[in-house]
C-alpha cells in the first residue's frame, strides 16, 4: 500500500458510499489456508460517510443473526477501513453502517466479507485512491480481528473474485486464478455456529508426513483441474483432505448425513466450506445443483435445520 498518497478532505466530505463484500468458500478440501473461491448468492454490505472528526463510529449493524461488536477496534469492517484511512493519511474519520447478508460463524467468509466491504467502501468514499491490490493489507488486518490469524483464503477471493491462491505463511503473497466458466454449486448452512477461532484451535499441531504429502498432491491436481474446467476432478479432489476436515467433521453432527445425501444425488464432490458449518457440493449443471441442494437440506437425524442456495463463482469480488 502506498503510504505517500494523501486525500483532499474538502472533495468528498459528503454523502454515503457503500460496497458489497461477497461470500467465499475457503480451503476447498486440501487447500487449507491456501485456496479460496469467491461465490455469488451471499454478501455483506457496508455503507460509510466521511466526517471531519477522527475515529470510526459504527452507528448500526443490521440483520446480524448473532450480536456483533460495534466497537470499531473489534469489528472487521471498521478495522479494515481504518487501515485505508491511515494509508491515505486522512485526518478525519467515518460513520459506518454494516448490513449482514452472511451469518457470522457460518463458514462462508462472513467476517472477511465485512472486512472487504469496509475497506472498499472507505476507499470509495475517499475517491478510490487505492487499487484492490493496495487494499490487501487492510483486509488481512480486518480479518485477523475475527479469526485471530492472518489467513487470506477468504478475504482475498472476496476482494478480487474468482479463485485465489494465497501463501499460508505470507498471506500478502497471492495469485488470482481466473475461471471463465465456473461450476454450479449447492452451498448449505446448517443452523449451528462454529467460530473460526475454535475450529482452528482443535487442529493438530503435527500431522503424519504421508497425510501432508497426499494433501499437497491433491491440491496440485485440484489447481490444474480448476484451470482446465475439469469439475469431475475438482469434485474428487475436494474430498481428499486428510488433515483438517476429518477433525472438523466432529464439530458438525449432521456432516456425514449431508455429505452422503449430496453424493447419493451424484454430486461431483462435497466438503466443508472454510471452517464450517457450511458445506458445499459441486454439480454438473444448474438443475442438478438444485437437486443436490434439495438432498442436502432435507431433515437430518441430528434435527439441525439446514438451508442453502445454488451459487456460482463470483468473478467480480468487492464492488
Min. distance of Cβ 92 from ligand HSE in angstroms?
33
Residues that bind ligand HSE (CB under 6 A): 26-27, 32-33, 107, 109, 151, 153-154, 196, 199-200, 274-275
Assigned C-alpha cell, 284 = 454438473
Residue pair 122/93 in contact (Cβ under 8 Å)? The answer is: no
Min. distance of Cβ 238 from ligand HSE in angstroms?
13
The one catalytic residue among 99, 141, 143, 245: 143
Nearer to ligand HSE, 56 or 258 (CB): 258
Nearer to ligand HSE, 151 or 259 (CB): 151
Give residue number: closest CB to ligand HSE: 274
Assigned C-alpha cell, 184 = 454450479
CA-CA distance, 168 to 180, in Å (whole number)?
25
Nearer to ligand HSE, 91 or 167 (CB): 167
Give the Å distances, CA to CA, from 140 to 105, 150, 153, 202.
Answer: 18, 6, 10, 22
For residue 49, which of 80, 81, 20 has the smallest C-alpha distance?
Answer: 81
Distant-in-sequence, close-in-space partners of 136: CB < 8 Å, separation ≥ 6:
1, 152, 156, 159, 172, 174
Min. distance of Cβ 270 from ligand HSE in angstroms?
16
Residue pair 244/32 in contact (Cβ under 8 Å)? The answer is: yes
Residue pair 266/288 in contact (Cβ under 8 Å)? The answer is: yes
Beta bridge partners of 22: 43
- What does DSSP assign to residue 203? S
Min. distance of Cβ 296 from ligand HSE in angstroms?
19
For the beta carbon of residue 70, count every other beta carbon within 10 angstroms: 15
Nearer to ligand HSE, 103 or 274 (CB): 274
143 in active site: yes
Nearer to ligand HSE, 26 or 225 (CB): 26
Assigned C-alpha cell, 282 = 459441486
The one catalytic residue among 34, 196, 245, 265: 196
Min. distance of Cβ 276 from ligand HSE in angstroms?
8
196 in active site: yes
Active site residues: 143, 196
Amino acid at each position: 500500500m502506498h503510504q505517500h498518497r494523501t486525500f483532499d478532505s474538502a472533495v468528498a466530505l459528503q454523502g454515503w458510499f457503500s460496497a458489497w463484500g461477497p461470500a467465499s468458500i475457503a480451503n476447498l478440501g486440501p487447500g487449507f489456508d491456501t485456496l479460496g473461491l469467491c461465490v455469488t448468492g451471499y454478501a455483506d454490505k457496508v455503507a460509510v460517510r466521511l466526517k471531519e472528526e477522527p475515529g470510526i463510529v459504527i452507528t448500526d449493524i443490521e440483520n446480524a443473526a448473532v450480536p456483533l461488536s460495534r466497537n470499531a477496534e473489534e469489528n472487521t469492517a471498521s478495522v479494515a477501513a481504518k487501515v485505508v484511512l491511515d494509508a491515505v493519511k486522512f485526518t478525519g474519520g467515518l460513520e459506518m453502517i454494516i448490513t449482514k447478508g452472511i451469518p457470522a460463524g457460518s463458514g462462508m467468509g462472513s467476517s472477511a466479507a465485512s472486512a472487504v466491504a469496509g475497506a472498499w467502501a472507505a476507499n470509495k468514499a475517499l475517491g478510490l485512491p487505492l487499487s484492490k491490490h493496495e487494499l490487501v493489507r487492510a483486509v488481512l488486518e480486518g480479518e485477523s480481528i475475527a479469526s485471530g490469524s492472518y489467513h487470506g483464503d477468504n478475504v482475498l477471493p472476496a476482494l478480487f473474485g474468482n479463485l485465489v491462491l494465497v501463501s499460508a505463511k505470507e498471506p500478502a503473497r497471492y495469485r488470482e486464478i481466473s475461471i471463465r466458466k465456473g461450476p454450479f454449486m449447492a452451498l448449505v448452512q446448517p443452523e449451528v455456529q462454529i467460530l473460526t477461532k475454535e475450529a482452528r484451535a482443535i487442529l493438530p499441531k503435527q500431522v503424519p508426513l504421508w497425510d501432508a504429502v497426499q494433501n499437497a498432491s491433491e491440491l496440485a491436481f485440484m489447481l490444474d483441474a480448476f484451470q482446465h474446467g475439469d469439475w469431475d476432478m475438482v469434485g474428487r479432489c475436494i474430498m481428499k483432505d486428510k488433515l483438517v476436515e476429518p477433525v472438523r467433521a466432529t464439530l458438525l453432527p449432521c456432516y456425514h448425513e449431508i455429505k452422503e445425501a449430496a453424493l447419493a444425488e451424484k454430486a461431483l464432490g462435497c466438503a466443508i466450506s472454510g471452517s464450517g458449518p457450511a458445506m458445499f457440493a459441486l454439480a454438473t449443471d444448474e438443475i442438478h445443483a438444485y437437486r443436490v441442494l434439495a438432498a442436502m437440506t432435507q431433515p437430518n437425524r441430528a434435527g439441525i435445520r439446514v438451508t442453502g442456495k445454488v451459487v456460482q463463482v463470483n468473478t467480480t469480488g468487492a464492488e
